[in-house]
Amino acid sequence: MSLLALAATAMLVPAAQPVHSIPIEHRGATYRVDYKPHVETSMRVVGMSAGPRPSTQRCVVNARVSVERVIAGGQGQELKAMLPGSETFQQHLPGSCHGRDGDAAKVVAAKAGAIATHLARSAAADRTAALAAIDSAHHFAAN
C-alpha cells in the first residue's frame, strides 16, 4: 500500500498571521482595506511502515490560504468578502502524522513570508473590485 490517508485536520489562522492593509481614497472619503489570510491545514501519511523494515512514511502537510477583504469606513462599518482563489503551500516531514498537530502550525509559521506575499499580490489585483464594492455599498445605502 503506497498511500495511507489520515483524517484532515482544519485549523484557523493564528492571531500572529500577517494582515496586509492599504488605504483607498474614493469619492472624497478614505477607507482602510485589510486583507486577512484564512488558512486551512490538512495532514496525510504517504508511504508505508511494514514491521521490521525501514519505514518509508512521510507526513505531507498542506496549508490552503484564501484571502478575506475587510473594507472599513470612517463610521465603524465594515464590508467583508472572501476573494476568489487560494494558494496552497506544502511541506513533507519524515515519519507518520500521528501526534504531530503542532507541526501544521509550525509549517504555517514558516510560510509567513510567502503568505504575506500572497496577501500583497491579492491586494494589488483586487483594487478595482474593492472600489466596485464601495460603490455598491453606497448605492444600497442610498436606496
Strand segments, DSSP code E, in 1-143 are 3-4, 20-26, 29-46, 58-72, 78-82, 87-94
Cα(89)–Cα(56) distance, rounded to whole angstroms?
22
Question: Beta strands 20-26 and 3-4: pairing type?
Answer: unpaired
For residue 56, the model assigns a pLDDT of 84
101 touches 113 (CB < 8 A): no
Q: Write the Ramachandran bin of 114: left for phi over 0, alpha for psi from -120 to 50, otherwise beta.
A: alpha
| The predicted structure's pLDDT at residue 49 | 78
For residues 116 and 110, the answer to whether their CB atoms sit within 8 Å is no
Give me the residue spans of the domains in the chain: 3-142
Q: At 133, which helix (H) or strand (E)?
A: helix 112-142
Per-residue pLDDT of the chain (143 residues; tens, 9 = 90+): 333 333 333 344 444 567 888 898 888 888 899 999 999 999 999 988 777 877 789 999 999 999 999 999 777 788 999 999 899 999 999 988 888 888 888 888 998 999 999 999 999 999 999 999 988 887 776 66
